[in-house]
Amino acid sequence: MNPTARIRAALTVVMCVVALVVSGCATLPDSSSPQAIGTIDPTPATTEVATPVPGREPDLLLRDFLQASTEPTNRHVAARQFLTPEMSARWDDAASATIVDKVDVLAESRNSDRATYVVRANIVGYLEQGGVYRAADGDFEAKFTLVRNGGEWRIEAMPNGVIMDRPRFLNSYERRSLYFVEPSGETVVPDPRWITGNPEQTAAQLIGLLVEGPKASLASAVRNLLEDVTVVGAVTKADGRTGQVGVGLGGIRVDFQGVGSMSKGDRELLAAQVVWTLANADISGPYVLLADHQPLDERFPNGWTTADVASMNPLATSSATIGLHALLRGGLVGVAETGVTPVPGFFGAADNLQSIALSRDGELVAAVAETGGVAPEPAAQLIVGAYGADVAEPAVDGQSITRPTWSPDNTSVWAVVNGMAVVRAVREPGTGRVTVVGVEAGALRVVGGRITELRLSRDGVRAALIIDGRVYVATVVQTPNGEFSLTSPREIGFGLGGPALSLDWSSPDTVVVSRAASDMPVVQIAVDGSRMDALPSRNLTPPVIAVEASTTAEFVADSRAVFQLNNRDPADDRYWREVPGLAGLTAIPVLPG
């Protein structure tokens, strides 16, 4: 299906809902111009919007306008009330959507009937087509002219596009993830989007966005089983009711067209996309999925549940019980509450390891060892071997090699040699031989700088990197001939306030980063760069030199010891606890991956 057809299909879903529930609905624009979801819906709004305060001074009215601009319903009808009729007719609210903070409104000139102000702010991001957030950093400046209109100040001249103050944006929009299938079909991959509207519109919005497909930077790395599919009729509750769709109990029903001869396996993948997209948006099942008015899968005539697609749960933890390990005095040790024990074989007996990584199933180990060489001889060597084996195979040498990171299928380990060259060390299961192949990383060289950290996400579709102390996320793309490349690098850590030292994936859409700062030494950054939240700092003594994370906990090594943060602890009782088995030891925590 071509892009225009996909967009029309997505619009069909949303407009069908509009026809049945009288509400302002967010739609998908039929253009490539950046815009907030919801800017082109012509349907009258049913919710009340605040009107300009009578007698408001022009500078305060301008600030009120900026706040009203975060409500996109009906082409920003709330914000248009602050404009003169002529300006409202000229204003192209779909031209752009810029998110700013630290807004200043500065007077340039004013008399009894006319006032001009300059708005200055820091750009923190843009909201693009389909609710895609793009983090950014820069200065914003725009001029606004206000005149008296009927005795009240109104905006007569201003630039096109929407300006949204970040706190108001975060209060008005919600981040929800679409899910697409990673190439092997083992799991689904999040594609965060920011949407707005009342809860009854959410299910139709998300289904429409799924039909439209992944954002451009992700498209070459995932599969979309809804690519050639359209939606027939409206998204309803499971029993066909059209009210309160997606709100409370009652489930969801969607009728797809175009499934046709799709195999049973592909139908399951389609269902996984829909179920996890809706379930992780707090829309309860059962999810009645139809194909041309018949059940998508005859096994589930009354609807799917998350249990039916549990094998593809993007938030699932590993079923392998591997346990915490650590790098201690140059060797690998297992960690128990009572203390540490060197692992059997080569890696436990070593005393020259700089960094180390366990495969996701815990059966293989990759490490960077000091060679003792003096320049120009290589100072470091990447080695790979089986857990507990007496020998390890050398893979590649270099003056520097980053901490290794394993692919999800446990067949290869990635690292960066000499700060620039990204490589994969592929281990043959039968012989244990290791072959090193390059990863195309030309897009990273455009960014420039030295790569000091690279971590693959657990689904293998993204890589988080530290380049010159700044945090980036790139897309991992596999070509038909089996080669890999890192594409579309995007900086996500604007405003970090200091160089990043270490990072890891805590969830499919969140990266934990330690930074060279005494206040808030560990932060959590959304994969689209839309949020940066400080993790508790109690008990930590900067610098925090290493981070390891899972969906349930984060581990860090600071200047004194190794600490753990349990994500299941209540928010008011969440603080770093020293890991019992590593008490008093200077070590680096090691988790699978």
| 252 and 303 both lie in a single domain | yes
Q: In this structure, is residue 238 part of a structural domain?
A: yes
Nearest Cα to 291, choosing from 308, 311, 268? 268
- 62 and 126 in a single domain? The answer is yes
How many Cβ atoms are within 10 Å of 554's Cβ, its own excluded?
23
287 with 344, same domain: the answer is no
- 465 and 447 belong to one structural domain: yes
The number of distinct structural domains making up the chain is: 3
Point out the domain boundary residue: 269, 297, 312.
312
- CATH for 446: 2.120.10.30
- Give the whole-angstrom CA distance, residue 170 versus residue 264: 40
Residues 305 and 327 both lie in one domain? no
- What pLDDT is stored for residue 197 in this prediction? 82
Decide if 521 contacts 537 (C-beta within 8 A).
yes
Per-residue pLDDT of the chain (593 residues; tens, 9 = 90+): 444 344 334 333 333 333 333 233 333 232 222 222 222 232 333 345 578 999 999 999 999 999 999 999 889 999 999 999 999 999 999 999 999 999 999 999 999 999 999 999 999 999 999 999 999 999 999 999 999 988 999 999 999 999 999 999 999 999 999 999 999 999 999 999 999 988 999 999 999 999 999 999 999 999 999 999 999 999 999 999 999 999 999 999 999 999 988 999 999 999 999 999 999 999 999 999 999 999 999 999 999 999 999 999 998 866 457 889 999 999 999 999 999 999 999 999 999 999 999 999 999 999 999 999 888 899 999 999 999 999 999 999 999 999 999 999 999 999 999 999 999 999 998 888 999 999 999 999 999 899 999 999 999 999 999 999 999 999 999 988 889 999 999 999 998 888 999 999 999 999 999 998 888 899 999 999 999 999 998 889 999 999 999 989 999 999 889 999 998 888 778 889 999 999 888 999 999 98
**Do residues 326 and 276 both lie within one domain?**
no
Pair (92, 183) in one structural domain: no
286: preceding bond cis by omega (within 30 degrees): yes
What is the residue range of 286's domain? 173-312
Of the candidates 42, 153, 150, 168, the residue with the CA atom closest to the CA atom of residue 93: 42
Q: What is the DSSP letter of 399?
A: S
Does some domain include residue 223? yes
Whether the Cβ atoms of residue 424 and residue 410 lie closer than 8 Å to each other: no
Q: Are the beta carbons of 591 and 552 closer than 8 angstroms? A: no
C-alpha 175: how far from chain center: 10
Nearest alpha-carbon partner for 587 in 393, 404, 325: 325
- Report the candidate in 215, 209, 210 with the shortest Cα–Cα distance to residue 226: 210
Concatenating the DSSP letter of every residue in 114-143 gives: EEEEEEEEEEEEEEEGGGEEEEEEEEEEEE
Show which of 100, 126, 160 is a domain's final residue: 160
Instruction: Fill in the amino acid letter for 415.
Output: A
1 occurs within a structural domain: no
Q: How far apart are CA 66 and CA 104, in angstroms?
A: 11
pLDDT score at 35: 28
203 and 285 share one domain: yes
In contact, 316 and 336? CB cutoff 8 Å: no
Evaluate whether residue 14 is within a structural domain: no
Q: Which of 451, 530, 448 is nearest to 494 (CA)?
A: 530
The encoded tokens of residue 15 equal 């407009």
Backbone φ and ψ for 180, nearest 5 degrees, come out as: -120, 165
Q: Can you give the pLDDT at residue 7? A: 35
Q: Is residue 168, in this structure, part of any structural domain at all?
A: no
DSSP code string of 322-360: ---EEEETTEEEEEETTEEEEPSSHHHH-S-EEEEEE-T
Residues ≥6 apart with Cβ < 8 Å to 400: 379, 380, 417, 418, 419
Strand partners, 535: none
pLDDT in tens, 301-322: 999 999 999 999 998 866 457 8
Considering 160, 192, 218, which residue would you say is the last residue of a domain?
160
Q: Are residues 295 and 323 in the same domain?
A: no
**Exposure string for 223-247, b = 16+ CB within 10 A, e = fewer:** bbbbbbbbbbbbbbbbeeeeeebbb
Does residue 11 belong to any structural domain of this protein?
Answer: no
Tokens of 250: 């009652």
**CATH code, domain carrying 88:** 3.10.450.50
CA-based nearest residue to 90, from 149, 143, 158, 36: 158
386 and 341, same domain (yes or no) = yes
Considering the domain architecture, whether residues 384 and 283 belong to the same structural domain is answered as no
Query: Do 344 and 303 share a structural domain?
Result: no
Instruction: Give domain status of residue 411, yes or no.
Output: yes
**Any domain includes 165:** no
Query: What Cα–Cα distance (Å) separates residue 452 from each residue in 390, 428, 468, 534, 553?
Result: 30, 27, 7, 22, 23
